Amino acid sequence: MALIVQKYGGTSVAEVERIRNVARKVGAMRDKGNDMVIVLSAMSGETDRLLRLAHQIAPNPSEREMDVMMATGEQVSVALLAIALQSMGYRACSYLGHQVKILTDRSFTKARIKEIDREKILQDLKKGYVVIVAGFQGVDKENNITTLGRGGSDTSAVAIAAALEADVCEVYTDVDGIYTTDPNICSNARKREKISYDEMLEMASLGAKVLQIRSVGLAKKFNVPLCVKSTFIEGTGTVVTREDMIMEKVLVAGITYDTKEAKITIKSVPDVPGVAARIFEPLSNANIVVDMIIQNASVDGKADVTFTIPKADYRKAMEIVRRVGREMDALDVQGDENIAKVSIVGTGMRDHPGVAAQMFSTLGNEGINIMMISTSEIKISCVIEDKYTELAVRVLHDVFGLAEPSAQGST
């Protein structure tokens, strides 16, 4: 008997038969005597339908009103699951953000949870109810409806699990766990049994879109054991947990890649204080997010600055940087859209300084040129030509032994 929070994503409740399937899974866990709290997303497709409607009315609809509208998606799915559970003989009750009071700040469309009132949920659990809560939504202190941004239901689930001090927060999705790398590229990619919060944070931000990254940060903060599972395939999934709960540490937990960035180099700018600000402020003002930044050593008081930005912003960014380059008498501005960022992630790196060197030499041996490097305590990212993406991922996956069971961290 445990208190279990489960979150089901949009594909898991996409149609009536799938909602019944979720009800059966929930019911089976309830039958075992567990206290069940279920967090749902909108039926998949619904969010896009509503967005289309709003954009037919106005190109830039107000964010407050968008949230009023978008919150209906989850409202429908929680009611339908409650009805499904009741029709199977369970006691069930749905709640919206304003009812269990998921209090957020007032940042419409990307609000952050401040507090959750757990009393109503605990009372219902005590009476034997399955409690179903609409994900993705909350209210600010004036009772305006807010939403948490795409993927926000993950964050709702973790926040509710934290508030209830649940034993586990299970996130059900259409993949059966976190893999050592993309199985579409590496046929011998393996599902991890456990992964640390920090590794997951790096993996999530690098493109493994299984969990909303904020939900992982929140799980880490409140020490909520997270478990990623498939709605459609039985299995143990992957547990995301504290590093010290993973007995045998691995050197590298996973390999990720990202082909959605482009790089820009501005050549031979004066190497004096304030230069970086002159380049990056106008980009920031244009809402362009800069990822990696490299400035090479100064030669004759001049330096080259290279950075990456989302491919979608490439043209806009090039215009801005060309203008800045002229103002600063830069020698040239060069852009390159044909790049990929390949990263290795693992808490084990902290104690093994040789990992970076091994990554570089592995890529070098394959004739892959490294254009940029960026590192954190548990991550090393290299920018390479995008045509080598798959090759790089495969050789790194092999060299760090991710395909071999003996290399996997397990308790």
User: Applying CB under 8 A, which residues contact a copy of itself?
Assistant: 16, 19-20, 50, 53-54, 56-58, 61-62, 64-66, 68-69, 71-72, 75-76, 78-80, 82-84, 86-87, 93-94, 96, 98-99, 143-145
Min dist. Cβ of residue 79 to a copy of itself (A): 4
* Nearest to a copy of itself of 144, 374 (CB atom): 144
Min dist. Cβ of residue 154 to a copy of itself (A): 22
Min dist. Cβ of residue 31 to a copy of itself (A): 19
Min dist. Cβ of residue 25 to a copy of itself (A): 15
* Nearest to a copy of itself of 98, 322 (CB atom): 98
Min dist. Cβ of residue 16 to a copy of itself (A): 4
* Nearest to a copy of itself of 47, 308 (CB atom): 47
Min dist. Cβ of residue 67 to a copy of itself (A): 8
Q: Which of 124, 93, 123, 117 is nearest to 103 (CA)?
A: 117
CB atoms within 10 A of CB 160: 26
Min dist. Cβ of residue 125 to a copy of itself (A): 17
* Nearest to a copy of itself of 47, 347 (CB atom): 47
* Nearest to a copy of itself of 87, 284 (CB atom): 87
Min dist. Cβ of residue 155 to a copy of itself (A): 22
* Nearest to a copy of itself of 89, 405 (CB atom): 89
Q: Are strands 92-95 and 130-134 parallel, antiparallel or unpaired?
A: parallel
* Nearest to a copy of itself of 58, 297 (CB atom): 58
Write the CB contacts of 17 (distance below 8 Å, at least 6 apart in sequence): none
* Nearest to a copy of itself of 76, 168 (CB atom): 76
Min dist. Cβ of residue 156 to a copy of itself (A): 17
Min dist. Cβ of residue 74 to a copy of itself (A): 10
Measured in whole angstroms, the distance separating CA 293 from the mean position of its chain's CA atoms is 22
CA 321/CA 318 separation, integer angstroms: 5
What phi, psi does 258 have (nearest 5°)?
-145, 115
* Nearest to a copy of itself of 134, 330 (CB atom): 134
* Nearest to a copy of itself of 77, 389 (CB atom): 77
Q: How many CA atoms lie within 13 A of 410 on its CB side?
A: 11
